[in-house]
Amino acid sequence: MALVTAWWNRVKSAHSVWRLTRLYTGLLLSVVAILLVVLYQLSIGQMNRQQQLQMANIIAQQTLLAEQLTTAQFVEQFELQAQSSRQYILSYQTKQQSIGRLSEAPTLPQCPTLSRFPIWLDQYDEIRLVSGCAQPLGSGTLIVAVDDESLYELKAQFISASAIALCLAILLGLITGLIFSKRVLKRINGFNQVALQVEAGHLSARVAVSEQNDEYDHMASHINTMLSQLQHSFETIAGITDAIAHDLRTPLSHLRQQMESEILDKQLENLPTEQLESMLHKLDEILFTFSSMLELTRLQQQREDNSQNFTNVNLQQVIIDAVDLIEPLAEEKQQLVTLQLPSPLSLQGDATLLFRAIYNLLENASKYAGVNAQIEARLTPNGFIISDNGPGISDSEKEKVFQRLYRIEKSRGVAGFGLGLTLVKAIIQLHSGTIELLDNKPGLAVQITFSD
Amino acid sequence: MKCTKLICIALAFTPLAAFADKEDDALATLALQRANFSLEQAVDKVTTDYAKHIVEFEIDDHNNQATYEIEAVNLKAEEKHKIELSLTDGSVLKHKTKNSLSRLDDEDLLALQELQASNFNLSTTIAQLKQKYAADVIEFELESKKGITFYKFKLMGEQGLTRVIVDVTTGKVIPVMKR
C-alpha cells in the first residue's frame, strides 16, 4: 500500500504528460458517460415514461368512471376492461371481493410510486416480477401493474454494457497515457540527462537526434549547437589562460633562478637582499597561480576523459593529516581546530588530491575566520563538513566563489589568488561529489557529499 | 406412421387423464374430510420426528388406505425422508430415508436455505389457508424461482380447485393471475 502511494505521489508530481493523460482520460470518461446517459434516456427512460403516462391515463379514466357510474356498472365495465387489457394488469379489490386479473391484493405504494412484486402465472407454472401501484377508488383499491421484466432485463444489460464501456474508456486512456509517457517522456528525459551531464562538467555531452525530424529534433539540434558553441568558448578561454601560464612559467622560473643566485651573491658580499627577497616572494605567488591554473585544467581534463587512477582512500586519515598540518597556522591566530570523526569512511579516490582539497578548505577557514575562531572538521556518513564561526559568505556570493580568479571584495586584504575553492570544487567533482556552502550561523560550513 | 398413431392415442387419452386428475383431487378431498388425523398434525409430527423442512405433500394410498405422503429434508444431516402417515390415526405406514441431497438442484437448495433462514410456520399457514378459503389443502410443494422461495398449495373446496402461493420469506400470499 505504501509502495503504491509512493508510486502515485511520484507519478502525480513528476510527469506533465501523465497529468495531461489523466485529464484526457477524465474527458474521455465524461464523454462516454454523457453519451450513455443520453442513450439511456432516449431508450429505456422513454419506455418508462410512456408506461407511467399510460398507467396515469388508466387511473384517471377509472377514477372518472367510478364517479359517474353506479358500483355495479363500474364493476361490470372494469371486468371487461381488465379482460381486454393485455399489457396492463388491472385489479379492483374491495373488502368483499377481488375483481380483475389478480386473486389477491398485494401491498403496494400509492400511485404514481411504483413497486415491484411477484405474481403467479398458473398456466405457465412460473413467477413473474411486475411493477405496480395502488390507487384508492370508491370503496376499494385500484391496482395497476405492468409486466416489465423484459424492460428490467434490458436495463440490467444496459448497465453492464455501460460498465464495460466505461472500463474500456479507462483502459484506452491508460494505454494512451502509457504510450505518451514512454515515447514523449523518453525524449524529454534524454534532454534532462544531457543537461545533468553538462551540469556535472561534461561539456562534450550531446542530445541524440532521431530521424523523425520533429519538434524535439529541432530543439535537440538547437541545444547541441548551443552546447558546441559553449564548449568552444570554454576551451578557448581555458586554452588562452593555459597557454599564457605555460609560456610564462619557463621564463619566470629562469628569472627566479637568477634572482636566487643574485640573492646568494649579495649575501656573500654582505649586501642587503630584502628587496630581492620581496620580489622573489611575489614571483613565487605568480608561479603558484600559474601552476594552480594548469592543475585545474589538468583536473578538468581528467574528468572529461575519465582517466583518473583511483585507489581506496581512508578519508578519516586524510582529514587527520590535513588538520595536523593546519594546526601550527591556526595556533598563530589562537584558533581552535576540533575533529569530529564518529565512524570511518573510505572511498575510491586520489589521496593527494583529497588532502589538498581538505587542507585548502581548512586553510581558507583559518585565513578568513579571524583571530580566536573555532574551526571544526567533521566526518559525515557520506562525506565531510569543514565549518568555522567567522564572518561567513553572503548568499549572493556563494556561487561566485567557485569561479576562477574570483575574490570576495572584503577578502582582498588577505593574501590569495581566487583559485582555492575552484580547485577544491574540481577535485570534489573528480570524485563524483558535490560541494555546498551553508550558513553555520555564524560562519561558514562547507559540506562535501560523495555520491557513492 | 407410427408417430401419427402415437399422437392419436395421446390425444384420445388426454381428456381421460384430465378427468382422472379431477377424480383424484375429489377422492383426496373426501379422504381428508373423513380423516381423524389432520394435515397440520401430520406436518407437526414429521417436523418433530424426522426433518424440519417439508418440501412436498400429497394424498396417496398405501394398501388401499389413504395416506399423507410427505417429503422432508434435514439440511444439517443431509437426509431426505419420505413418510407415509395414516389419515386415520397418524401412524407411520412407510418411511424411506436417503442419505444424500445430491439430487437436489441449486434452486431446491436455495429454497431450503431460505426456508431455514425464515420464521415460516407451515402448520399455522395451512390452518389459516383452510379457514380463509374454506377448503382443504390437498397438495403442496416448496419451490424457488427468480430468487423467490414459496410454497405452492392446491386447495379443494366448494368453489372448486384453488391455487395459493405463499412467500416463505414474507409469509404473504403472492397474487395469482387469472386467465
A120/B177 Cβ within 8 A: yes
Residue of A nearest to B167 (CA): A118
Instruction: Tell me whether A102 touches chain B (CB under 8 Å).
Output: yes
Backbone angles phi, psi at A447, to 5 degrees: -105, 125
Average pLDDT, chain A: 86
Backbone angles phi, psi at B3, to 5 degrees: -60, -45
| CA-CA-CA-CA torsion sign (B73, B76, B78, B79) | negative
User: What pLDDT is attached to residue A411?
Assistant: 57
Give B-chain residues touching A126 at CB under 8 angstroms. Answer: 145
Which ipTM did the prediction report?
0.82
Interface probe with B: pick from A93, A103, A130, most Cβ of B within 10 Å:
A103
Q: What is the pLDDT of residues A114-152, one digit of tens each?
A: 899 999 998 888 999 999 999 998 888 999 999 888 888
Identify the CATH assignment for A311-450 out of 3.30.565.10, 3.40.50.2300, 2.60.120.10, 3.60.20.10.
3.30.565.10
A121/B177 Cβ within 8 A: yes
- Answer yes or no: is B179 within a domain: no
- Answer yes or no: is B6 within a domain: yes
CATH of residue B105: 3.10.450.40
Assign A417 a pLDDT band (cuts: 50, 70, 90): low
Structure-block grid coordinates of residue A426: 574540481
How far apart (Å, rounded) are the C-alpha atoms in residues B54 and B76?
A: 14
- Bigger pLDDT: A276 or B26? A276
| Residue A271 CB-density burial (10 A; 0-12 exposed, 13-18 middle, 19+ buried) | exposed
**Closest by Cβ to A120, choosing from B172, B174, B179:** B174
B163/A127 Cβ within 8 A: no
Residue of A nearest to B176 (CA): A120
Distance from CA of B61 to the nearest CA of A (A): 26
A119/B146 Cβ within 8 A: no
User: What pLDDT is attached to residue A19?
Assistant: 76
Instruction: State yes or no: pLDDT of A199 exceeds 80.
Output: no
Q: What is the pLDDT of residues B97-108, one digit of tens each?
A: 988 787 788 888
Task: Count structural domains, chain B.
Answer: 1
User: What pLDDT is attached to residue A190?
Assistant: 87
B145/A127 Cβ within 8 A: yes
Give A-chain residues touching B175 at CB under 8 angstroms. Answer: 91, 102-106, 117, 119-120
What letter does residue A206 receive in the DSSP assignment?
A: -
Interface probe with A: pick from B110, B159, B172, B177, most Cβ of A within 10 Å:
B177
Residue of A nearest to B146 (CA): A127
Instruction: State yes or no: pLDDT of B167 exceeds 90.
Output: yes
User: What pLDDT is attached to residue B176?
Assistant: 93
- Buried residues in A55-89 as b, exposed as e (16+ CB within 10 A): beebbeebeebbeeeeeeebbeebeebbeeeeebb
B174/A102 Cβ within 8 A: no
User: What pLDDT is attached to residue A412?
Assistant: 54
- Residues 6+ positions from A207 with CB-CB distance below 8 Å: A190, A191, A194, A220, A223, A224
User: What pLDDT is attached to residue A59?
Assistant: 92
* Residues of A (105-144) whose Cβ lies below 8 Å from B: 105-107, 117-123, 126-129
Residue of B nearest to A127 (CA): B145
**A–B CB contacts, 8 A cutoff, strictly below:** 54
How far apart (Å, rounded) are the C-alpha atoms in residues A317 and A344?
A: 9
The count of residues in chain A is: 452
Instruction: Tell me whether A16 touches chain B (CB under 8 Å).
Output: no
Q: How far is CA A257 from CA A260, A263, A284, A311, A317, in A?
A: 5, 10, 11, 37, 37
Residue of B nearest to A79 (CA): B178
- Bigger pLDDT: B11 or A410? A410
User: What pLDDT is attached to residue B3?
Assistant: 43
Residue type, B89: D
Percent of chain A with pLDDT over 70: 92
How far apart (Å, rounded) are the C-alpha atoms in residues A167 and A381?
A: 50
Q: What is the pLDDT of residues B7-40, one digit of tens each?
A: 444 444 444 445 567 778 888 888 888 888 999 9
- Bigger pLDDT: A14 or A339? A339
- Bigger pLDDT: A209 or B4? A209
Q: What is the pLDDT of residues B78-136, one digit of tens each?
A: 889 999 999 988 889 899 998 878 778 888 888 999 999 998 999 999 999 999 989 99
Mean pLDDT of A297-310: 72
How far apart (Å, rounded) are the C-alpha atoms in residues A29 and A47?
A: 26
Q: How far is CA A246 from CA A240, A251, A253, in A?
A: 10, 10, 11
User: What pLDDT is attached to residue A416?
Assistant: 60
Domain coverage including residue B27: 2-174
Give B-chain residues touching A101 at CB under 8 angstroms. Answer: 177-178
Q: For chain A, what percentages of helix, strand and coil (3-state, to nearest 5) are there?
A: 60, 15, 20
Is the Cβ–Cβ distance between A386 and A375 less than 8 Å?
yes
Q: What is the pLDDT of residues A78-115, one digit of tens each?
A: 989 888 888 899 999 888 888 888 888 888 999 889 89
User: What pLDDT is attached to residue A414?
Assistant: 57
- Answer yes or no: is B129 within a domain: yes
B145/A119 Cβ within 8 A: no
- Answer yes or no: is B36 within a domain: yes
How far apart (Å, rounded) are the C-alpha atoms in residues B177 and B164?
A: 11
Give A-chain residues touching B179 at CB under 8 angstroms. Answer: 122-123
Is the Cβ–Cβ distance between B59 and B42 less than 8 Å?
no
Mean pLDDT of A214-232: 91
Instruction: State yes or no: pLDDT of B170 exceeds 50.
Output: yes
**Closest by Cβ to A119, choosing from B152, B172, B174:** B174
